[in-house]
Amino acid sequence: MAVVGAALAVLPGTSEGGKLGDLVAKDIGKGASPVAVALATVQKPGQMTAVITSNPRHRVAWNYTTDCFKGLAYSQWPPPGQSEDIESMTPVRKKLKTGGLKDPDYCLVAVSGKLDFKSAKSVTAKIFAK
């Protein structure tokens, strides 16, 4: 997974999620067939959570990937070739996996949500970390 330009580090004091931790990335998609893709580099992640919402509440196709690193060790979730969209009603809240790597130094995270053509006005993808 390549993360280009839009990656953010964990920013202290930007807590929007309360129990979810700090908001580290957010993207909003609007218009016909909106898509939102939040990208972040999370340093020393404890727990990472994806939240996907839409306005109004609607069925959304969503997915996430994490590429985590600890020293020279590397882990990707989901494993290569096993990624597929999940369809759920919004809001979606999902704990993100690190692919079995314990206490990674950092993770590159991407969370996406997309709506079909006439479904809703906007979709938002957020990543929280603590």
- Note the pLDDT tens digit of each residue in 62-101: 999 999 999 988 888 888 777 788 999 999 999 998 878 8
Count of other CB atoms within 10 angstroms of residue 109: 29
Q: Which tens digits make up the pLDDT trace of 91-129? A: 999 999 887 888 999 999 999 999 876 666 899 999 999
CATH hierarchy code of domain 18-129? 2.60.120
Residue type, 45: P
pTM of the predicted protein model: 0.82
What tokens were used for 60? 């959304």
Q: Per-domain residue ranges for the chain?
A: 18-129
In whole angstroms, what is the distance from residue 55 CA to residue 113 CA? 13
The DSSP secondary-structure symbol of 20 reads G
The residue behind tokens 């898509």 is 35
- Cα-based distances in Å from 43 to 39, 76, 81: 13, 16, 26
**Per mean pLDDT, which range of 29-33, 36-40, 68-72 is the poorest?**
29-33
Antiparallel, parallel or unpaired: β 59-70 and 106-114: antiparallel
